[in-house]
Structure 1
Amino acid sequence: MVHTPGAGDFASLRADFELPESFPPDVLAEAEAVAGDPEGAGEREDATGIPFVTVDPAGAKDLDQAVCLEPVRGGGIRVHYAIADLAAFVPPGGAIDAEARRRGQTLYLPDGNVPLHPPELSEGAASLLPGMVRPAVLWTIDTDSGGEPTAVRVRRALVRSTERFDYDTVAAALEAGTAHPSIAALPALGRARRELAVRRGAVELQLPEQEIGAGPDGGWLLVRRPRNDVEAWNAEVSLLTGMTAASIMLEAGVGVLRTLPEADDETVDWLRRSAGALGIPWPREATVSELLAGLDPAQPSSLALYAGTTRLLRGAGYTAFDGGVPELATHAGIGGPYAHVTAPIRRLVDRFATEVCLAVTSGKPVPRWVRASLAELPELMQGSDTFAARVERAYLDQVEAWILAEHIGRVFDAVVLRAEENKAEIFVENPPVLGKCSGSGFPEGGRISVRLTAVDVTKRKVSFVRA
């Protein structure tokens, strides 16, 4: 199904959320001034000889990370991970800094992104574009044969990416045995890190992900976003770096972490009962992580259990600290301490956490402008995350309403994700729609037929009943 009403469909939605169309003149002027003169350009290690490559979604221009994986003796891997050095382009207390604090993060939207930083920086001078020498923060992390880190070095450097890849092209090259040498070891590292994640108790939910795509004639379509091993392995490199950064900050007693409290025993017991009701065997000795890792995401019962497991992941936030270790210092979904440091082009907090790691590992004081900002970062990021989730959901709801508007009365196949007395949360498989359904006797984790009864395009709402 495709919606084809023409361009400008999201204008009212953008107006509702007051999404900025550009940057204030003073921000653009400052970006132009710093683009050609990054801070400390002549005081960096020359790492342009390392054959970095980038792996991102197709068409991405704001390239935060470049990677080079180097197998070492003993079966380990040396991870060279270059991260765009935004602090070199953002004067503390300046116009770009103030605007970034207001925005919090980049919003990736189907009709055009709302960037955290001006495109002259985010898609130009700061982006790790192929063939261009760029200032970066270079992480070199040695891992053993099991993927555990054994040594780390962090410093400012000049780097040059040699190639830009996307997930599909890397997957095809790996399958054909023609992968670039810098990422040939990605499957081995990714799989090792995934095994460690399960042992740590990390919780991964393979729920259906909706994605808005461009349809024919300028319209929009809604598809189920495919899961890609390369994307998951690439994410493990970022997670490795973020966990290493968290360890550095905790040891120093200063920094900012991404945190999530452990679920209480009552919630885990509830999930165990849910698994039993869905007919999913759960050995008493198996952890939540081990159970989830063994499920088949294609099974309706698995989708229902994933949906229930979201109850274990409530309360995510950010924890800043200065002068000691905070009471909550771990992320239950990851299974250990974790910090955001690998996406400073698109996320505010990464720039500050990175500066802490650079200072601590070099034996220097944490910059005053960083310390002065730590306390406000959790609130800024929490507000930004909430806003971004609302905008993303509104876009999906709008496209769902547009696509379904001409199909009132039609019957669809659906999976029951959560069941209550007179309603259920459902996943319609084609088009991929997450919605509510009224009725009774819903078989949680089962397949049912639902009838579309109403669509309100203006309010972005659709209604189903059990057929």
Structure 2
Amino acid sequence: MPRREIRVTGAAEAPVRAALTALRATLGTPGRFPPEAAAEAERAARAPVLPSYDATDIPFFTLDPPASADLDQATHLSRRRTGYRVRYAIADVAAFVAPGEALDAEAHRRVNTLYFPDEKVPLHPTVLSEGAASLLPDRTRPAVLWTIDLDAEGRTTAVDVRRALVRSRAKLHYAGVQKDIDAGTAEEPVALLEEIGRARERLEAERGGISLDVPEQQITEHDHTYELSYRAPLPADGWNAQLSLLTGMAAAGLMLAQGTGILRTLPSVPPDGAAPAQANGRLGDVARLRRTAAALRIDWPHHVSYVALIRGLDQRDPRHAAFLQECTTLLRGARYTPFRGGVPPALTTHAAVAAPYTHCTAPLRRLVDRYSSELCLAAVAGRAPPDWVSAALDALPREMAEGAQRAATAERACVEIVEAVLLKDRIGDVFEGCVVDVDEHRPTLGTVQVRTPAVIGRIEGERLPLGERLRVRLTEADPAKASIAFTPA
């Protein structure tokens, strides 16, 4: 599920930063790592388990936001006869984390890195995630190395994965890569990012998939007031994401061929007019999104599919950016689906990818990816997965679901905090909005989407007009309680 990127500025004592600190305490987010786990990480950082295959002659590069230090992936792109070769190195966390030990147990407790607008709570100690295991430039690192050959149209023709020593030559960031590609000054391994990325985007459109590039939400402080804005992703963000999707699809293919694995699955978005039995329980989410579109004055004709609508949005338009934030709700039905014994699950595809897919490219930040790498290495070697992988396979979906719920709770609370800070000095003001949801058990309670600024809050009143535009009055905006409330005006 795409993560809602939220950035805030301001001193630690400012209302938004203070509220975020209080939120972490309320949620009970993990703090320091237990002493045993921290000690294991220190020892592993000094003496990881290293592979014999040496690929340090390949000039990899990483592509991440400038401040990132937990670098999961390194890339090298080249031409190959009439097609391309994608080399994608993934940080090998298993070289540092021993199954069943304290560090492994703590990773299973945390499940994923939690992101807050002002800081993050990491899955692994930073001595690993931002140090010894991270694919930092000019450092030799153990990695799971994918080699994926593509034809001229970008279709996969061959896949290999093995453990290898790799060495990144450069830590690049999206704006710099985009500037070099646009200017025609990028060297071929970087310039090919556009060529391969666009080819993969065309294939994605052909199969009916869609990449939900969620704009970054930015809350900026100016003279004790806050402003809301959005940063639209650059084309380079999307091209790089296509490499991750390519690898996840290749991994799913290996798992299905081997008969053992764990897929990331999602039912398709139901078409308008679908009967409830055909809608996979997701009709309510689609109806709510249609009301949100109406509230933001985004034209969504009934004959236009969800995928077609998303492709036509302009991420630089604040209304469209806000709508894309809400589109992540349609991905809430995604789950991890394990299988074994050569029997594939009933659902093998992810609707947004429109193909079988699994998570395998972010093991520094997501627990399941470490297991996916082991499953794929075993599949290519023609052997059974390690016992510690097989033993964890059935429990991983529950652990990952609990971790995703914690992340979603934190994310929603963060959104409400920053929006409450944005509106805290406007109590009593009237806004144009639309009721996008009503509580079926308490019809006087609902959710309203405000047009400008594009925020969502609680609304209470008699006979709430679901799906209709109305004027609403702000009655509460409390960062400390992460609460925004309106009443019909």
Is the TM value for this pair above 0.5? yes
Counterpart in 1 of 2:160?
153
Check whether the contact 2:259–2:344 (CA below 8 A) recurs between aligned residues. Answer: yes
Counterpart in 1 of 2:56?
48
Equivalent positions of 1:125-140 (< 5 A) are 125-140=132-147
Counterpart in 2 of 1:97?
104
Cα distance, 1:449–1:457 mapped onto 2, change above 3 Å: same
Counterpart in 2 of 1:462?
484
Matched, 1:60 2:68: yes
Q: Provide Cα deviations, 1:259-310, integer angstroms capped at 9, x if missing partner.
A: 1123443359996995999754566xx7643453234556799679868966
CA distance in structure 1 between the partners assigned to 2:435 and 2:254 by the alignment: 40
Counterpart in 2 of 1:86?
93
Unaligned runs of 5+ in 1: none
Check whether the contact 2:91–2:134 (CA below 8 A) recurs between aligned residues. Answer: yes
TM-score by length of 1: 0.87
Equivalent positions of 1:163-202 (< 5 A) are 163-202=170-209
CA distance in structure 2 between the partners assigned to 1:134 and 1:96 by the alignment: 20
Q: 2:409 aligns with which of 385, 390, 405?
A: 390
3-state DSSP of counterpart to 1:45: coil
RMSD: 3.3
CA distance in structure 2 between the partners assigned to 1:205 and 1:51 by the alignment: 30
Counterpart in 2 of 1:293?
311
3-state DSSP of counterpart to 1:35: helix
Counterpart in 2 of 1:110?
117
Q: Provide Cα deviations, 1:317-359, integer angstroms capped at 9, x if missing partner.
A: 1111111211121111211111111000000000001001011
Counterpart in 1 of 2:374?
355
CA distance in structure 2 between the partners assigned to 1:370 and 1:45 by the alignment: 23
Cα distance, 1:461–1:88 mapped onto 2, change above 3 Å: same
1:196 CA drift (Å):
1.6
Check whether the contact 1:260–1:316 (CA below 8 A) recurs between aligned residues. Answer: yes
Cα distance, 1:364–1:227 mapped onto 2, change above 3 Å: same
Check whether the contact 2:73–2:362 (CA below 8 A) recurs between aligned residues. Answer: yes
Matched, 1:326 2:345: yes
Matched, 1:452 2:474: yes
1:199 CA drift (Å):
1.9
Instruction: Return 25-34 or 322-331, whichever deviates more.
Output: 322-331
3-state DSSP of counterpart to 1:406: coil
Counterpart in 1 of 2:5?
none
Check whether the contact 2:54–2:164 (CA below 8 A) recurs between aligned residues. Answer: yes
Cα distance, 1:419–1:321 mapped onto 2, change above 3 Å: closer
Instruction: Return 223-232 or 16-25, whichever deviates more.
Output: 223-232
Counterpart in 2 of 1:244?
250
1:450 CA drift (Å):
4.8
Q: 1:235 aligns with which of 224, 232, 241?
A: 241
Cα distance, 1:294–1:406 mapped onto 2, change above 3 Å: closer
Check whether the contact 1:57–1:167 (CA below 8 A) recurs between aligned residues. Answer: yes
Aligned residues: percent identity? 46
Cα distance, 1:460–1:274 mapped onto 2, change above 3 Å: closer
Cα distance, 1:291–1:370 mapped onto 2, change above 3 Å: same
CA distance in structure 2 between the partners assigned to 1:326 and 1:23 by the alignment: 37
Cα distance, 1:310–1:390 mapped onto 2, change above 3 Å: closer
Counterpart in 1 of 2:30?
20
Matched, 1:425 2:457: no
CA distance in structure 1 between the partners assigned to 2:422 and 2:315 by the alignment: 26
Counterpart in 2 of 1:317?
335
Counterpart in 2 of 1:371?
390
Check whether the contact 1:131–1:160 (CA below 8 A) recurs between aligned residues. Answer: yes
Q: Provide Cα deviations, 1:56-102, integer angstroms capped at 9, x if missing partner.
A: 1220000000111112222x221110100000000111111000000
Matched, 1:259 2:265: yes
Check whether the contact 1:428–1:434 (CA below 8 A) recurs between aligned residues. Answer: no
CA distance in structure 2 between the partners assigned to 1:307 and 1:224 by the alignment: 10
1:315 CA drift (Å):
1.9
Check whether the contact 1:263–1:313 (CA below 8 A) recurs between aligned residues. Answer: no
CA distance in structure 2 between the partners assigned to 1:2 and 1:348 by the alignment: 30
Q: 1:435 aligns with which of 452, 457, 467?
A: 457
Check whether the contact 1:257–1:319 (CA below 8 A) recurs between aligned residues. Answer: yes
Cα distance, 1:231–1:427 mapped onto 2, change above 3 Å: farther
Check whether the contact 1:155–1:358 (CA below 8 A) recurs between aligned residues. Answer: yes
1:454 CA drift (Å):
2.0
Check whether the contact 2:19–2:417 (CA below 8 A) recurs between aligned residues. Answer: no
CA distance in structure 2 between the partners assigned to 1:178 and 1:95 by the alignment: 48
Counterpart in 1 of 2:21?
11
1:394 CA drift (Å):
1.1
Check whether the contact 1:3–1:403 (CA below 8 A) recurs between aligned residues. Answer: no
Check whether the contact 1:198–1:290 (CA below 8 A) recurs between aligned residues. Answer: no
CA distance in structure 2 between the partners assigned to 1:3 and 1:33 by the alignment: 37
3-state DSSP of counterpart to 2:480: coil
Cα distance, 1:320–1:142 mapped onto 2, change above 3 Å: same
Q: Provide Cα deviations, 1:111-144, integer angstroms capped at 9, x if missing partner.
A: 3211000111000000000111111111011111
Q: 2:361 aligns with which of 342, 345, 350?
A: 342
3-state DSSP of counterpart to 2:121: coil
Q: 1:121 aligns with which of 128, 139, 143?
A: 128
3-state DSSP of counterpart to 1:355: helix
CA distance in structure 2 between the partners assigned to 1:133 and 1:407 by the alignment: 54
Amino acid at match of 2:449: I
Cα distance, 1:303–1:166 mapped onto 2, change above 3 Å: closer
Instruction: Return 340-349 or 294-303, whichever deviates more.
Output: 294-303
Check whether the contact 1:282–1:291 (CA below 8 A) recurs between aligned residues. Answer: no
